[in-house]
Amino acid sequence: MRGGVRNKMPEQPANIRNKNFNEVALGYDLNTAIDEAERCLNCKNPRCVAGCPVNVEIPNFIQALIARDLKKAIDILKNKNSLPAVCGRVCPQESQCEKNCILGIKGDPVAIGRLERFVADFARDKKLDSIQAKPLTTKNKKIAIVGSGPSGLAAAGDLAKLGYAVTIFEALHEPGGVLMYGIPEFRLPKEIVRHEIKQLRDLGVKIEPNIVIGRTFTINDLFNEENFDAVYVGTGAGLPHFMQIEGENLNGVYSANEFLTRVNLMGAYKFPKVATPVFIGKKAAVIGAGNVAMDAARTAKRLGAEQVYIVYRRSEEEMPARKEEIEHAKEEGIELKVLTAPLKITGTPNGWVNGMECCLMQLGEPDQSGRRTPIEIENSTHLLDIDMVIMSIGQGPNPLIKATTPDLAINKRGNIVADEYGQTSIPGVFAGGDIVTGAATVISAMGAGKKAAQAIHQYLTKE
């Protein structure tokens, strides 16, 4: 196996996994992990570290793994990243750490994500990662974190380690944000997310679910009534976009957020063993081609849709989803309908979806973002035979915090304006992750959370 080729990831066969919610990728065993780790050149000036938004000391954890010191390996990982089992699974490593790996020039880069995942899973199984509740040097300052998604969790972990009293407020009944409601069980088992969040609790972080900031408390209340010294807003991009085309209110049309929340957070895939239902058509169209669209399509397939289409107005080349996820979807029987744009959704007299009018597109000149603009082909209107639609064309920022915090500056897209360190227009209020950048990745949100934690620490020690 030595040389330029990385170790394959064992997976469930496609025709079996598309009928269950068990994890698709099965993970390395110890010997494979060490074999893969030994490919690392242990660069003196490791470029991979710079590619990681939270700067995990990659060669160091890999060397500890080679030495079979898994305790040391997990400690090195956890030092920078409180959710390694999550990041090892869902990071787009090919455009981050692994993109920079020197081995990638002539062959495959080291499978850093798979090794991170292996170390975290091994440590969890063998209980090497349990946190000793050591007495922290308490700073006697209280910090409120709004939202328990990746950026809030990362900020909370770092601030707790610095000795602050940290409370996370979460609107839903379970913490984790998109890790719980968005990314499906077959890509990210929820028990793993719960385990990594429990470790934050062991570190002293308080998590208060069922509290909606903007309703239960405003940001001002957090300072004036609840005596917090600083607030970090990490409320994400949770507002689903619709296309504003005819027929979007028919029965059988979902936002990807609703569909995935029902299935992942509420467990509707186990209905009627749990009470939350989900509607599944025979032929489903998922509009959009990001990672969320792939997740929704693969979920619909698993729940029994016979035919699932990804409908996308550009070509496969431009799809924003990870290549790996597109491949997984295709293997599982998802059909790509590219260069196709929905015009309207048609319905039965009773108000249920029974088709979608689409037109064909061709690609024109690249736009400002460098992507080629799709242009409608004349007389290409046709009807797609479907009975379910999942809109997955992106999300915007939830406007609730802004609506109840008039001083907070936002830009024209509704995102909170914050500098590189998360400082907003209100002193003591910091923000980061998707609420600032718009929908991005788990790990970039974590990076923003860690930066803001440092900035909050400076803000509170300067006084």
179 is a site residue for other proteins (CB under 8 A): no
Given the complex with other proteins, which of 225 and 420 has the nearer CB atom? 225
Reference 383, options 301, 279, 285; nearest CA is: 285
CA quadruple 81, 85, 90, 91: dihedral sign:
positive
Residue 276 CB, nearest distance to other proteins (Å)? 4
Q: How far apart, in whole angstroms, are the C-alpha atoms of residue 33 and residue 115?
A: 6
Extract the tokens encoding 11.
């997976």
Phi-psi region of 440 (alpha: psi -120 to 50; beta: other; left: phi over 0): beta
Find out whether 400 and 203 touch, Cβ atoms under 8 Å: no
C-alpha to C-alpha distances, 413 to 170, 184, 396, nearest whole angstrom:
24, 28, 8
Given the complex with other proteins, which of 76 and 171 has the nearer CB atom? 171
Neighbours of 246 (CB within 10 A): 14
Which listed residue (4, 277, 304, 364) binds other proteins by CB under 8 A? Answer: 277
Per-residue contact flags (x/-) with other proteins for residues 313 to 352, judged by CB under 8 A: -------------------------------------xx-
Per-residue contact flags (x/-) with other proteins for residues 360 to 399, judged by CB under 8 A: --------------------------------------xx
Q: How far apart, in whole angstroms, are the C-alpha atoms of residue 305 and residue 398?
A: 31
274 is a site residue for other proteins (CB under 8 A): yes
66 is a site residue for other proteins (CB under 8 A): no
440 is a site residue for other proteins (CB under 8 A): no
Number of H helices, E strands in the chain: 18, 16
Which listed residue (69, 108, 248, 316) binds other proteins by CB under 8 A? Answer: 248
Which listed residue (25, 43, 66, 172) binds other proteins by CB under 8 A? Answer: 172
Find out whether 441 and 86 touch, Cβ atoms under 8 Å: no
Residue 39 CB, nearest distance to other proteins (Å)? 42
Tell me 374's DSSP state.
Answer: E
279 is a site residue for other proteins (CB under 8 A): yes
Site residues (CB under 8 A) for other proteins? 171-173, 209-212, 215-217, 238-240, 242, 244, 248-252, 254-255, 257-258, 261-262, 266-267, 270-277, 279, 350-351, 398-400
